[in-house]
Amino acid sequence: MKTYIIRFITGLAIIIFGVGLLLGNLDVFNFGEVIGKWWPLIVIGAGILVFINDVKSYIWALVIVAAGAMLQLKQLDVIDVNPWQFVWPVIIIAIGLSVIINRTASSRHISKSDRDDITAILGGSDQRNMSDDFKGSRVTAILGGVKIDLRKATIKKEATLEVFSLMGGVEIIVPRDVIVKNQTSAILGGIEDKSEQDATKNAPILYVTGDVIMAGVEIKN
């Protein structure tokens, strides 16, 4: 349903832009002047779409909407300040809040004795897990890289891989007989899931959660 709403809003915005461009070419009004004055509404709309797509990203939706609102007020000469003086500090604050909130929410209460902690700061780590009852790992990569190989690990029911990557990279190699559910949040970063599963309906599940900030995560077989 939310995918339909996003597609509908996006399509409607494109139609409105096209109609405005057409009317501008017909000299009904100055379309360039209108766009120059009201373009921050696009930023506000983007923030609303972010919220519709993922309610858990409400912090970033609020930041984007607030930035768009300040830019719009600047364009209308309601305020006489540089919005970017406030936007960037707010973005940094939002990153911190997102890390705290998302990490707390994503925790599946795996005891420390059942969890491997892998950390790479300004360096690299290459780990191969061969546990006969893998329940989860916590991976932290800050200005560094982590490779974790789970192909020889056995997941009996479900396991959780918590990832926090800041300006780093994480490579996750997963077995084909598990179902991978990607629940990570990307902030100026990206998650690429290249894994191919040959799993049955009742196959064990590997949850990949956490935050990827100005970084990259690759999931593959």
Do 164 and 139 meet the contact criterion of CB atoms below 8 Å apart? yes
Give the model's pLDDT for residue 115: 62
Largest CA distance in the chain: 72
**DSSP 3-state assignment of 31?**
helix
Query: What's the confidence (pLDDT) of residue 62?
Result: 86
CA dihedral 10, 14, 20, 24 (to 10 degrees): 150
Residue 11 is given by DSSP the state: H
Give me the average pLDDT of each 10-residue run along the chain (221 residues): 74 86 84 86 86 75 87 87 80 75 55 68 88 87 90 88 88 89 82 80 86 87 82
The pLDDT of residue 131 is 86
At residue 80, the pLDDT reads 83
What is the domain partition of the chain in residue ranges?
Answer: 2-105, 108-220
Q: Where are the beta strands (DSSP E) in the chain?
A: 116-121, 124-128, 136-142, 145-149, 158-166, 169-173, 179-187, 190-193, 205-213, 216-220
The model's pTM: 0.61
Please report the pLDDT score of residue 16 as a whole number.
87
